[in-house]
Amino acid sequence: MDFTAAQRDLQDRFDSRRIADRINDLLVHDTIDPGSAAFIESVDMMFVSTVDASGQPTCSYKGGDPGFVRVLDQKTLAFPSYDGNGMFLTLGNAAETAKIGLLFIDFTNPNRLRVHGEASVATDDALLDTWTGAKLVVRVTVTEVFPNCPRYIHRMQQVEPSVYVPRGAPPPVPDWKRSDWAFDALPANDPARD
């Protein structure tokens, strides 16, 4: 990873350039190793960051059943886009600039992994039909993968998986889609209109 001038300035101000370089040299890789692949495919959620062409960032949560993010090879992973709010902030940005950051966290056994890469978004990807309910497929060509210190991760326990993750049958319609402010603006084929 190439540090920016601003990152180097802060590293120097806090005397962390040596440890930053050590982490970069030893822990940052441009391929997904087997341990990282197993971790990625074991989690049921991730945070995704993207930027638009003007540099405006967004960050979103993406969830599914464990394995919803698939490691296709050492340089590529893929994940589905399910029905959402229709704004397409994250995926629109990814389609426009291709820049993407993924953060995988295990809250039960504190662990986290960062993945940076170049994204492509497709409606006709061969993997689309392998995820029930997927509308799009995002493929990420990995540029950087590295573990991130887990010490500030709050230990949490999942109470139950989301009922909205597609699992072989249409998921329930979220209440917000039936609200007065949203209903008439929904796409014509939205299940909330049934």
| CATH, residue 115 | 2.30.110.10
Residue 102: its pLDDT value, please? 99
Contacts of residue 106, defined as CB under 8 A and 6 or more positions apart, other chains included, come to 39, 42, 43, 112, 153
pLDDT-derived band at 169 (thresholds 50, 70, 90) equals confident
Instruction: Give the amino acid at 48.
Output: V
Assigned domain for 185 exists: no
Residue 194: its pLDDT value, please? 82
Assigned domain for 153 exists: yes
Q: Are 141 and 118 in contact (CB under 8 A)?
A: yes
Q: What is the CA radius of gyration of the chain?
A: 19
Residue 171: its pLDDT value, please? 87
Assigned domain for 19 exists: no
For residues 164-193, average pLDDT? 89
Assigned domain for 177 exists: no
Task: Provide the number of structural domains found in the chain.
Answer: 1
User: 106 is written with which tokens?
Assistant: 């295990």
- The domain of 97 spans 28-166
Q: Are 113 and 156 in contact (CB under 8 A)?
A: no
Average pLDDT taken over every residue of the chain: 95
Rounded to two decimals, the pTM is: 0.93
pLDDT over 90 (residue 106)? yes
Q: In Å, how far from its chain's centre is CA 167?
A: 20
Assigned domain for 179 exists: no
Contacts of residue 67, defined as CB under 8 A and 6 or more positions apart, other chains included, come to 41, 42
- pLDDT tens-digit series, residues 3-55: 999 999 999 999 999 999 999 999 999 999 999 999 999 999 999 999 999 99
Residue 168: its pLDDT value, please? 84
User: 165 is written with which tokens?
Assistant: 């993750």
- In terms of Cα–Cα distance, which of 14, 10, 1 is closest to 148? 1
Q: Are 101 and 115 in contact (CB under 8 A)?
A: yes
Assigned domain for 83 exists: yes
Assigned domain for 62 exists: yes
Assigned domain for 34 exists: yes
